[in-house]
Amino acid sequence: MLSYRLIAALLRFALRVFYRRVVVVGLADVPAEGGGPVIFAGNHPNSLLDPALITATCGRVVHFAAKDVLFRGPVMRALLARMGAVPLRRRDDHGGPVSNDDAFEALYDVLGQGRAMGIFPEGLSHDQSELQRLKTGAARVALGAARRHPGVTIRIVPTGLHYVRRQRFRTSVLVQYGEPIAIDADWLARADADEREAARALTEVIERRIRALTVNAPNWETLRALDAVRRLYQPDHLDLTERIELARRFNEHYPKVAGDPAVAALLDRVRRYEARLTALGLTDHDLVGGASKRALMARVAVHGGLLLMWLPLALLAAPIHAPLGLLLRWLAWRFAPRKDVVATTKFLVGLLLVLAVYGLLVGWALWSLGWVAALQVLLLLPLSGYATLMVVRRFDAIDRKLGLLVRSVVVRPDLDALRAERARLSAAVVEMVQRLRPAELELLYPSGPATPARPAARTR
């Protein structure tokens, strides 16, 4: 258990570095350690980062069911064994029927002892725009464990993971825990009557609960278009949780009104608006956050000052961090087998490289210069690494603001026309929502967006 807690602590620290922001919602719905057996059942959009985030945020010791092919490499096998993972055999990986009787027995034991397990019912990480059809494994484990241990109440906690830009380093992620599904006497009676039908019905409930925590669209083009609609509708200064909930609602209700000619025409206008922004190298955030040239220059000055503040500390270890960053970027795209594995490759390879390089440098300092110097190197390297992240962030902000400053002069008429079109589109979206929303659906923002002509907003 000590090795698990050490690895979990390392994951929490590494994830705080890898992601700019990790927002966690619904922890009150998660039974605390010692509060009974729990099955975390979530969507699976980002490979090994999905279980890492649940491990780091849920407050429980979680034993994940993982496909057995992950146990083949010595490093991953040792890591997964320390984390108490249970190998599952997948038919697709073995080219024929397989037996998971031993794995199910191990998971029954985990739950019977009041502990927690995690499983991704989609079966495989993917880069699709919506939740894939769920397999019945989570339901079968829950029902089987409840029947095996009749005095214990198994709870399934639906979990939603949403990455703002899932392949990006320093993006934001939302982890949502939903209301638990208790495997009560009714479910056990249904399982006694027809085990297969009960597992299928429970899987449908799990799917509905996970969909309620995730954003789903039939394709990426629709998802991007509706995200643009969401930005046109939302008020200023929403937090990540509110933005994702608004996006989920638009995508959930869009199929019901997609056949309306007025909706199709409005969505086409939104796409043309987005295309004009892209042609100018702008985003909706740039346009809405449009400021005067003096304000832009002031922001450049602020970012420049912060860059200069962090730069000396960053330069101390720049010969180490700069090659590491470039190597990691190349390795992630060169060796990631699928798009949904790019971020995991960055995270795992980056973590291993940093630990190895830092360890070698601290060891060299200890061997050559003594323990005082080794302690100084141990403290300096991560501080300089963090300073490097801050320098890169401020440099990117300066580059963006200077680009906006140039465009505000060179293409000023186009920007004015786009702002006017945005105002018209925003009003049209609000009117469409008011006209087509189901009567029973309570509006998150009854007055719609409160966006003036040229606000200093922070929508994304």
Per-residue pLDDT tens over the stretch 350-396: 999 999 999 999 999 999 999 999 999 999 999 999 999 999 999 99
Phi–psi pair at 9, nearest 5 degrees: -65, -40
The first and second tokens of residue 24, run together, are 């966690």
Task: Assess whether pLDDT exceeds 70 at residue 345.
Answer: yes
**HSE-CB of 383 using CA atoms within 13 angstroms:** 10
The first and second tokens of residue 66, run together, are 């993982």
Look at domain 2-211 and name its CATH class. alpha beta
117 bridge partner residues: 39, 63
Chain centroid to CA 19? 9
Q: Which of 1-10, 235-244, 285-294, 305-314 has the lowest mean pLDDT?
A: 285-294
Q: Is 125 exposed, middle or buried (0-12, 13-18, 19+ CB in 10 A)?
A: buried
The first and second tokens of residue 173, run together, are 């992620």
β 181-182/155-163 pair status: antiparallel
What gap in Å lies between CA 415 and CA 216, rounded to an integer? 32
Phi–psi pair at 118, nearest 5 degrees: -130, 145
pLDDT tens digits for range 102-155:
899 999 999 999 999 999 999 999 999 999 999 999 999 999 999 999 989 999
Please give the share of the chain, as a percent, with pLDDT higher than 90.
76
The first and second tokens of residue 356, run together, are 């190895």
Tokens 């390879």, residue located: 349
Tokens 């985030």, residue located: 53
β 62-67/86-88 pair status: parallel
161 bridge partner residues: 175
Q: Taking the domains of the chain in order of start, what are their residue ranges? A: 2-211, 218-280+428-460, 293-410
Banded pLDDT at 456 (limits 50, 70, 90): very low
Q: Is 334 helix (H, G, I), strand (E, B) or coil?
A: helix
pLDDT tens digits for range 205-214:
999 999 999 9
Instruction: State the sign of the Cα–Cα–Cα–Cα dihedral 274, 275, 280, 281.
Output: positive
> What is the four-CA torsion angle of 459, 212, 215, 250, rounded to 10 degrees?
-60
Rounded to an integer, the average pLDDT of 177-202 is: 97
Please give the share of the chain, as a percent, with pLDDT higher than 70.
96
* Of 8, 144, 12, 22, residue with least CA distance to 64: 8
Q: Is 332 exposed, middle or buried (0-12, 13-18, 19+ CB in 10 A)?
A: buried
What gap in Å lies between CA 303 and CA 309, rounded to an integer? 10
DSSP string computed for 389-425: HHHHHHHHHHHHHHHHHHHHHHTHHHHHHHHHHHHHH
